[in-house]
Amino acid sequence: MASLISWLDASSAETNRMRELVRLFEMPESVDDLALGQFRDTISNSLFPGTSVLHVAARYLLLIPWCFQSASGMKGADQLKLSAEQAERRLIRRFQELNVERFIGRSAGDRVAQLPSAAYWSALRSWGIVRNDVERNAIGDAMLDAAAAIRDGLPQEPVWHPGLPPAPIGFPTTADRGIALSHGEAEWIRDRVLSAVPGTLIAQLVAKPQRILKTSNVPWADPAAQAATGEAAVWLKHAEAYSALQHGLDAVYAYCVTAEARRRFGEEPEETDAETLAKWREDENYQRLLRDWDVQEFISHARAVNPRIQPRSIAFLVGSIDELRSGDDPVTNEALHRMVREREKRAKGANSRFVNERRLRAWTSPERISPQTFRWIQVRNMIVDLKEGLTRA
């Protein structure tokens, strides 16, 4: 996968999307065998714009600008960017020395392939911390142009938000708080999110972070998110219903692949996948969510946000919901099985487990099917960081 990423350096947005894709492959709840990721991402972006599964701590929203500002004395654009990236690597080493618990590069050290700025650039742009038109690969030119305009007395929109809190003395090697936010820093980040994406769920969470739970695993189970209003509440309702649907479809897919392996290779039958699917069907909450879900409203909302959602994906979504609502046992519903098999074959082509014998032989049924969380863990950690920062003097 790394070779697929290397050529994307010219576009920070594309690079970040590819790196996020790699990270998603590592997360059980984000395996996308049926190619429905457009729906997942549309929900995630509507609830939590600017966020990423690559995010680790809220203070990176300040640490990264400080790294680039520390390089502002460089004469050339390439030198400025290189100096800033060196500051990011020094910061990683400093965090290791301070035994910071949570930071990018914790395992790989300062040789990490993906620097924090690559992971957070979309958030910096989305929340108005860096000028929205500035790509990460062009930051050196943008900062030098802004400095030249100031010297010449010409009007120029700042590259970095003018209210950015100052970096600690000695940054990035200072014995600072690591990723812990000060009260003022937490207030500043909160205000950026509220200003940039008002009304979204993440904005409502940062406005009142006191209710957030450190242990909640999905947004609809957290009291802070449950208090959402307006469009955020609508999206949260769709998110919970979609998660229930995806859980069911993943269970159907696992059952179908295992059945195919049994049919072709004569392996001893395992009842795990059938039991998982039966448990999903017997879950009254899942069935209620699916029964009460206004699917057409969801599709309308999703297409308004992402017009590129494919008609075939919408048709599969609607058809699979109809089958799961039909009352037929999903373990024996051949129409549903056929729909799932054809969807996977169309999405993966020669790599389909229903086509590729090598991939079918390598199949292992998941021990458990995790719910879709829509970046909740990363968002929850950010809100907790803000909550703790706001309690500091």
Per DSSP, the residues of 298-343 read HHHHHHHH-TTS-HHHHHHHHHHHHHHHS-S-TTT-HHHHHHHHHH
Mean pLDDT of all residues in 156-180: 91
Mean pLDDT of all residues in 224-233: 98
For residues 350 and 356, is the Cβ–Cβ distance under 8 A? yes
Whole-number Cα distances in Å, 366 to 64, 65, 135, 260, 276: 38, 41, 39, 16, 10
Closest CA relative to residue 244, chosen from 273, 269, 218, 272: 218
Would you place residue 268 in the very low, low, confident or very high pLDDT band (cuts 50, 70, 90)? low
Q: Answer whether residue 360 shows pLDDT above 70.
A: yes
Q: What is the CA radius of gyration of the chain?
A: 23
Handedness of CA 90, 94, 100, 106 (dihedral sign): positive
Burial of 296 (0-12, 13-18, 19+ CB in 10 A): exposed
Count the Cβ atoms, other than its own, within 10 Å of residue 129.
25
Q: What is the DSSP letter of 164?
A: P
- Residue 5 confidence (pLDDT): 35
Calculate what percentage of the chain has a pLDDT beyond 70.
91
Closest CA relative to residue 117, chosen from 55, 192, 193, 180: 55
Q: Answer whether residue 19 shows pLDDT above 70.
A: no
Whether the full predicted model's pTM is greater than 0.85, yes or no, is yes
For residues 196 and 51, is the Cβ–Cβ distance under 8 A? no
Would you place residue 7 in the very low, low, confident or very high pLDDT band (cuts 50, 70, 90)? very low
Contacting residues for 18 by C-beta, under 8 A, at least 6 apart: 4, 5, 8
Q: What is the DSSP letter of 108?
A: T
Q: What is the DSSP letter of 168?
A: P
List own/partner pairs for 252-256 with CB under 8 A and 24 or more apart.
Answer: 252/277, 252/330, 252/336, 252/337, 252/340, 253/33, 253/34, 253/340, 253/344, 254/365, 254/366, 254/369, 255/330, 255/331, 255/337, 256/337, 256/340, 256/341, 256/354
Mean pLDDT for the chain? 91
Mean pLDDT of all residues in 341-368: 95
- Residue 393 confidence (pLDDT): 75
- Residue 11 confidence (pLDDT): 46
- State the first-to-last Cα distance of the chain, in angstroms, to the nearest integer: 45
Would you place residue 270 in the very low, low, confident or very high pLDDT band (cuts 50, 70, 90)? low
Closest CA relative to residue 167, chosen from 55, 64, 58: 64
- For the record, the structure tokens of 50 come out as 């600017």
Q: Answer whether residue 1 shows pLDDT above 50.
A: no
Q: Answer whether residue 323 shows pLDDT above 80.
A: yes
Tell me, rounded to whole angstroms, the distance of Cα 273 from its chain centroid. Answer: 28
> What is the maximum alpha-carbon separation in the chain?
79
- Residue 350 confidence (pLDDT): 97
Which spans in the chain are helix H? 2-5, 12-25, 37-47, 60-69, 77-97, 116-126, 139-151, 183-196, 201-207, 223-226, 230-265, 272-282, 284-292, 295-305, 311-325, 334-348, 357-361, 376-390
Between residues 392 and 272, which one has the greater pLDDT?
A: 392
Calculate what percentage of the chain has a pLDDT beyond 90.
81
The dihedral formed by the CA atoms of 36, 14, 43 and 105, expressed in degrees to the nearest 10: 100
- Residue 123 confidence (pLDDT): 98
Contacting residues for 54 by C-beta, under 8 A, at least 6 apart: 16, 19, 20, 23, 104, 114, 119, 120, 378
Between residues 311 and 75, which one has the greater pLDDT?
A: 311
Burial of 225 (0-12, 13-18, 19+ CB in 10 A): buried
Q: Answer whether residue 193 shows pLDDT above 70.
A: yes
Would you place residue 27 in the very low, low, confident or very high pLDDT band (cuts 50, 70, 90)? low
Mean pLDDT of all residues in 26-43: 83
The whole-angstrom separation of Cα 4 and Cα 116 is: 20
- For the record, the structure tokens of 53 come out as 């599964």
pLDDT tens digits for range 84-136: 999 999 999 999 999 998 999 999 999 998 999 999 999 999 999 999 999 99
- Residue 272 confidence (pLDDT): 79
Would you place residue 29 in the very low, low, confident or very high pLDDT band (cuts 50, 70, 90)? low
Q: Answer whether residue 25 shows pLDDT above 50.
A: no
Would you place residue 314 in the very low, low, confident or very high pLDDT band (cuts 50, 70, 90)? very high
